[in-house]
């Protein structure tokens, strides 16, 4: 297998950058391009040394060189990492030197792909590497790290093992049937398949919540003018993101910002006040506010907690029926408001002062409950991405067909085919029976150097 090389850190000015080599010629190439007081070719794995990277024209940069020996490396091959200064020119120059000495440019995700092909990672663990790199909040990072540690693989493998055992018993029954006990066997098999099917269904439900913490929650801050929407936006972002004045209708367009709240990334939209517009510009802003309200995965409905509700407030409450929303009774520092009507429509309602920050912790807790993320356990198996969900969904549906076939009295041979297909779907999820096209698609989304 050829030796590959790539820059493993983002191109840009930084204190440290890394160029990575992997393959049988990694160590000999490194020995020919680094001056150091040690013999790199005889260095043991997981050791490093300081030296100067050079080419035919002289020194390129100083670097710390780390050597990893097969099979105890990330890729399972001999590997070398050059930790240099992080200037783009320097890193490109070091990479060019690796290529001059015989390495080939690495493709997207090729280091992790080699780890997968060497059996160092399952396909779900490999996908978790990219999820970990692109995580945008505490919860998404925790879910990706758990998957990298094998949580998804173990969960799917356990379910797959149960189905393999059931398929083996079914095959044995086909060869040696006991007619007197067929009803009992059928009932037990149906029970096993129902249990596995429900566990897959729960994993798929968890995947929906996992997508929220991975991709971010589209969150609209809505309400009538001057209830404190923009002040709340600024409080959540920690800066003057939106203009705040005493004049009603200050916000005419949608102001967007991404923030982390309770470890969950929120794509916040501060919108124009909902009311009968006074002109064309405000009318356009109100129309956009209503559009974002329809698109939102979470709504922060803001009300003036110091004053009685107005018709615009009541109209908003009616529009939020059945929607994931948190009622925000703002201006708690002023006192005097009545929130019973809001709470009757929105059980998750908090009193706060966006101006002073009072009550913001309660808002965080409420939005996690509304999104059902308060019960998402750290380290739990969470399916990630359309591919994993499609495989689990196919296995769930095939088990449903198998259960229906058993209950309809279809021959056990036909049921066995459905079981085998469900097992194949789960093994494709983990990568144990994934075709080359599937593997190519997974690693095509990786960055070069990982």
- Domain ranges in the chain with CATH number 3.40.50.300: 218-370
Cβ within 8 Å of residue 408, ≥6 positions away: none
> Cβ-count burial of 230 within 10 angstroms (0-12 exposed, 13-18 middle, 19+ buried)?
buried
Per-residue pLDDT tens for 258-267?
Answer: 888 877 888 8
Look at residue 282 in the predicted model and tell me its pLDDT. Answer: 63
**Average pLDDT estimate for 137-155:** 82
Look at residue 7 in the predicted model and tell me its pLDDT. Answer: 95
**Average pLDDT estimate for 220-246:** 80
CATH ID of 128-212+382-433, from 3.30.200.100, 1.20.120.430, 3.30.1520.10, 3.40.50.970: 1.20.120.430
- Domain ranges in the chain with CATH number 1.20.120.430: 128-212+382-433
Look at residue 336 in the predicted model and tell me its pLDDT. Answer: 58
Architecture of domain 4-121: 2-Layer Sandwich (3.30)
Closest among 68, 57, 62 to 84, alpha carbons compared: 62
Q: Which residues pair with 329 in a beta bridge?
A: 303, 351
Please say if the pLDDT value at position 147 is more than 60.
yes
Look at residue 133 in the predicted model and tell me its pLDDT. Answer: 81
Look at residue 33 in the predicted model and tell me its pLDDT. Answer: 96
- Domain ranges in the chain with CATH number 3.30.1360.120: 4-121
Q: What is the CATH number of domain 218-370?
A: 3.40.50.300
Per-residue pLDDT tens for 248-307?
Answer: 555 556 788 888 887 788 888 887 777 666 666 666 777 787 888 888 889 999 998 888
Look at residue 239 in the predicted model and tell me its pLDDT. Answer: 78
Please say if the pLDDT value at position 137 is more than 80.
no
**Average pLDDT estimate for 121-136:** 83
Per-residue pLDDT tens for 34-88?
Answer: 999 899 999 999 999 999 999 989 999 999 999 999 999 999 999 999 999 999 9
The CA distances from residue 87 to 52, 82, 84, in Å, are 16, 13, 9
pLDDT, mean over the chain:
86
Please say if the pLDDT value at position 378 is more than 80.
no
């Amino acid at each position: 297998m050829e030796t590959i090389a790539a820059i493993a850190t983002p191109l840009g000015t930084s204190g440290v950058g890394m160029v990575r080599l992997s393959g049988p010629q990694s160590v000999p190439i490194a020995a020919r391009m680094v001056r150091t007081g040690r013999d790199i070719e005889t260095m043991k794995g997981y050791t490093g040394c300081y030296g100067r990277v050079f080419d035919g024209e002289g020194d390129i940069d100083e670097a710390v060189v780390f050597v990893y020996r097969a099979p105890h490396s990330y890729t399972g091959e001999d590997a070398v990492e050059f930790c240099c200064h992080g200037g783009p020119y320097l890193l490109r120059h070091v990479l060019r030197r690796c290529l001059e000495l015989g390495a080939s440019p690495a493709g997207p995700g090729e280091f992790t792909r080699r780890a997968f092909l060497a059996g160092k990672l399952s396909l779900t663990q490999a996908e978790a590497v990219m999820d970990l790199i692109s995580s945008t909040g505490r919860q998404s990072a925790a879910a990706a790290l758990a998957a990298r540690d094998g949580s998804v693989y173990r969960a799917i493998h356990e379910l797959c093992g149960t189905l393999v055992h059931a398929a083996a018993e079914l095959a044995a029954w086909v060869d040696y049937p006991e007619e007197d006990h067929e009803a009992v066997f059928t009932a037990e098999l149906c029970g096993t398949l129902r249990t596995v099917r429900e566990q897959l269904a729960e994993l798929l439900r968890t995947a929906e919540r996992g997508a929220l913490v991975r991709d971010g929650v589209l969150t609209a801050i809505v309400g009538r003018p001057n209830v404190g929407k923009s002040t709340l936006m600024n409080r959540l972002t920690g800066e003057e993101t939106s203009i705040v004045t005493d004049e009603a209708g200050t916000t005419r367009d949608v102001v967007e910002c991404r923030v982390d709240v309770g470890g969950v990334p929120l794509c916040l939209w501060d919108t124009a006040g909902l009311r009968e517009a006074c002109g064309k510009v405000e009318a356009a802003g109100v129309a956009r506010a209503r559009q974002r309200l329809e698109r939102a995965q979470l709504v922060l409905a803001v009300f003036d907690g110091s004053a009685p509700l107005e018709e615009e407030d009541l109209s908003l409450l009616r529009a939020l029926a059945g929607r994931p929303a948190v009622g925000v009774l703002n201006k708690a520092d002023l006192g005097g408001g009545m929130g019973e009507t809001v709470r009757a429509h929105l059980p998750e309602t908090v009193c706060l002062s966006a101006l002073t920050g009072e009550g913001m912790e309660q808002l965080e807790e409420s939005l996690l409950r509304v999104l059902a993320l308060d019960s998402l356990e750290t380290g739990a198996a969470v399916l990630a991405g359309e591919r994993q969900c499609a495989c689990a969904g196919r296995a769930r549906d095939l088990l449903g067909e198998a259960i229906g076939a058993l209950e309809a009295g279809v021959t056990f041979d036909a049921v066995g085919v459905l079981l085998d297909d469900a097992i194949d779907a789960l093994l494709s999820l983990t990568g144990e029976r994934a075709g080359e096209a599937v593997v190519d698609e997974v690693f095509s989304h990786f960055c070069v150097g990982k």
